[in-house]
Amino acid sequence: MSLVVYLAAFVFGMTSVLLFRRPRTAAPPDPLTLSTCAAIVLGALVFVCAAPATLAAVNSLTGVPNFGAPLTYGMLSAYSCAVLVLLINWRGGSRERVRRMVLRSVAAYGLLVAAIVVLFALAEADTERLTDLDTYYATTPFMREMILLYLVGHSAAMLVMCVVCVKWGREVGGLLRTGLRLILLGALLDVVGFQLTKYTAVVARWSGHDLDFLSTTVAPPMAALAALLWSAGFALPRLLPSVRAQWRGLGDYRRLGPLWSLVGPVPTAPKPQAAWWQLPRARLQWREVSIHDALLALAPYFDHRVRERVRDSALRAGRSPHQARLAAEAAMLADAARRAAAHEEPPESAGTYRLHATEVSGTGGLVELAQALPRPPAAGGGGAPPPPTGTVTEPEEPHVA
pLDDT above 70 as % of the chain: 84
Q: What are phi and psi of 147, to 5 degrees?
A: -65, -45
pLDDT attached to residue 4: 55
> Taking 90 as the threshold, does the pLDDT of residue 193 lie above it?
yes
CATH 1.20.58.1180 for domain 2-241: no
Burial class (CB in 10 A: 0-12, 13-18, 19+), 72: buried
Q: Dihedral of the CA atoms 319, 322, 326, 329 (nearest 10)?
A: 110
According to CATH, where is 1.20.1070.10 located in the chain?
Answer: 2-241
Residue 324 CA to residue 313 CA, distance in Å, equals 8
Count other Cβ atoms within 10 Å, centred on residue 92: 11
- Calculate the alpha carbon distances from 129 to 56, 137, 154, 219 in Å: 9, 9, 22, 16
Question: What value does the mean pLDDT of the chain take?
Answer: 83
330-383 pLDDT, tens digit each: 999 999 999 888 888 888 766 678 898 888 888 889 999 999 987 765 444 444
Residue 99 CA to residue 76 CA, distance in Å, equals 22
> Taking 90 as the threshold, does the pLDDT of residue 384 lie above it?
no
pLDDT attached to residue 388: 38
233 in the Ramachandran plot: left (φ > 0), alpha (ψ -120 to 50) or beta?
alpha
Residue 214 CA to residue 283 CA, distance in Å, equals 52
236-261 pLDDT, tens digit each: 887 788 888 888 989 999 999 999 99
297-338 pLDDT, tens digit each: 898 889 889 999 999 999 999 999 999 999 999 999 999 999
Query: Residue 146: which H helix or E strand, with range?
Result: helix 143-169
